[in-house]
Amino acid sequence: MGIFSSVRLRYAATGALCAAFILLPYLAIYHSPEALRLLSQSAFSQHLNRIFGKGSSQSSFLDGTLNFTQEELGNLQGVLKNASFKNKTVIITTLNQAWATQNSMLDLFLESFRLGEGTRDFLDHLVIVALDQVAHDRCTSVHKHCFTLRTDGVDFSGEKFFMTNDYLKMMWRRVDLLRVVLELGYNFVFSDADIMWFRDPFPHFSRDADFEIACDQYNGSPTDLDNRPNGGFVHVQANKRTIDFYKFWYKSREMYPGKHDQDVLNEVKFNSNFTDIGLKIQFLSTEFFGGFCQVSRDFDKVCTMHANCCTGLVRKIQDLRLVIEDWKRYKSMTDLEKQLQKVYWRAPRECLHSFGG
Ligand SMILES: *[C@@H]1O[C@H](CO)[C@@H](O)[C@H](O)[C@H]1NC(C)=O
Ligand SMILES: *[C@@H]1O[C@H](CO)[C@@H](O)[C@H](O)[C@H]1NC(C)=O
Ligand SMILES: *[C@@H]1O[C@H](CO)[C@@H](O)[C@H](O)[C@H]1NC(C)=O
Ligand SMILES: *[C@@H]1O[C@H](CO)[C@@H](O)[C@H](O)[C@H]1NC(C)=O
């Protein structure tokens, strides 16, 4: 029996009371797993309809693939609840062993929050999704909101080389998890751990967007689908359109085997099925949300700096150390000094010798 059935059962339990009344007699009569699956599916949909409003005809909420035991789902909900801002928004990152070891990516990521302007308190709202046991152990030793996402039969612990099979699996697993977070009613900012946070991003998010995504290359127009998005940093509001979109995105990987989430997004963004979802998508300017592909030149404006356009963990870390040092140097300057001498990023340096990422 699919583990996801227990998710459905949980929702059957917590869903609309009337659904429970309808369900209970059936549960007594049909106790085959399949019957339970179908019945609790309707309760789950009703539960979500209550949260998100009507009209979920286009999709049942249960055609996802991420299987949680009831315990895992309860745990995820608990972690999200503990970490959430009052407005049901969380910050999420994923972590594996290679990125979690001492003096590594995780340390730089967390350090950036402490060094940033007004970003330290965001650590109270950051959920680290650990993809293996070592990442889990390391997370719990340095951070308070950790969730462990297990995937049967896949070892996510080693460095995932760009575009290998395991790399792709890890990327798609993330898309699938974020869908579940949305279904649980949480808005989120997802950030890769190779993104340094130096300022509060929220003032730059649009009230009119469902889904905002950072760019490798930003062309100046926030609504132009020709921008080159980067899935490493997204802000997503939980609603029917975004849930449908995440399902569609995940499903679309079958049509484009061997491509990662970002490339598939580039493929499907002009597709009529995508347009039908009505997703309000916006692209974030690299002026605020920059990276090694296109750096944010103005230190007075930068919110985040991503080690994108770079493959290889060692190179990324070397260059992000420079980024942290440059930021510290900027922070130590007086206002007058900031006016008189322009600060430049020294990175990308090592990353210039790589591509992708
Ligand atoms: C989830 O469970 C279904 C049914 O048991 C199974 O076919 C599917 O492979 C599982 N998915 C994952 C990602 O484990
Ligand atoms: C949520 O926070 C409470 C209080 O700190 C803690 O006891 C509980 O274990 C946390 N829940 C999860 C799932 O982390
Ligand atoms: C949610 O709360 C955070 C912290 O108070 C704030 O920065 C953010 O703008 C809020 N988000 C929305 C959509 O209101
Ligand atoms: C849209 O979705 C339908 C049904 O899933 C599918 O048959 C069709 O190929 C999709 N269209 C495109 C342009 O991908």
CB of residue 273 inside a 6 A radius of ligand 4: yes
User: Which ligand number lies closest to the CA of residue 75?
Assistant: 2
| Cα–Cα distance for residue pair 7/20, rounded to 1 Å | 15
Residue 314 lies in a domain: no
Same domain assignment for residues 20 and 152: no
66: CA distance to ligand 1 center in Å? 7
Residue 70: what pLDDT?
A: 80
- Residue closest to 180 by CA, chosen among 64, 41, 83, 42: 64
- What rounded mean pLDDT belongs to the chain? 80
Residue 297 lies in a domain: no
72: CA distance to ligand 2 center in Å? 14
Q: What is the pTM of this model?
A: 0.80
DSSP code at position 153: T
Q: At what angle do helices 4-14 and 17-29 cross, to 10 degrees?
A: 130
CB of residue 341 inside a 6 A radius of ligand 3: no
> Which residue has tokens 């967007």?
209
Same domain assignment for residues 46 and 131: no
Other CB atoms closer than 10 Å to residue 129's CB: what's the count? 25
Residue 78 lies in a domain: yes
Average pLDDT (89-101) is: 93
Same domain assignment for residues 38 and 154: no
CB of residue 85 inside a 6 A radius of ligand 3: yes
Atom of ligand 4 nearest to the CA of 268: 14
Please report, as a single letter, which amino acid is at residue 15. G
Which of 268, 283, 298 represents a domain boundary (last residue)? 283
Same domain assignment for residues 16 and 78: no
67: CA distance to ligand 1 center in Å? 6
E strand or H helix at 25: helix 17-29
Q: Has residue 161 got a pLDDT over 80?
A: no
Residue 129 lies in a domain: yes
CB of residue 71 inside a 6 A radius of ligand 2: no
CB of residue 239 inside a 6 A radius of ligand 3: no
Please report, as a single letter, which amino acid is at residue 43. A
Same domain assignment for residues 105 and 249: yes
Residue 313 lies in a domain: no
Same domain assignment for residues 118 and 89: yes
Angle in degrees, CA 127, 133, 134, rounded to 5: 85
Residue 300 lies in a domain: no
Same domain assignment for residues 162 and 191: yes
Q: Has residue 57 got a pLDDT over 50?
A: no
Domain region containing 238: 74-283
CB of residue 275 inside a 6 A radius of ligand 4: no
CATH assignment of the domain containing 267: 3.90.550
Residue 148 lies in a domain: yes
Average pLDDT (208-212) is: 97
Residue 68: what pLDDT?
A: 74
Instruction: Tally the domains of the chain.
Output: 2
Same domain assignment for residues 188 and 258: yes
Q: Has residue 348 got a pLDDT over 80?
A: yes
Q: At what angle do helices 70-83 and 165-183 cross, to 10 degrees?
A: 70
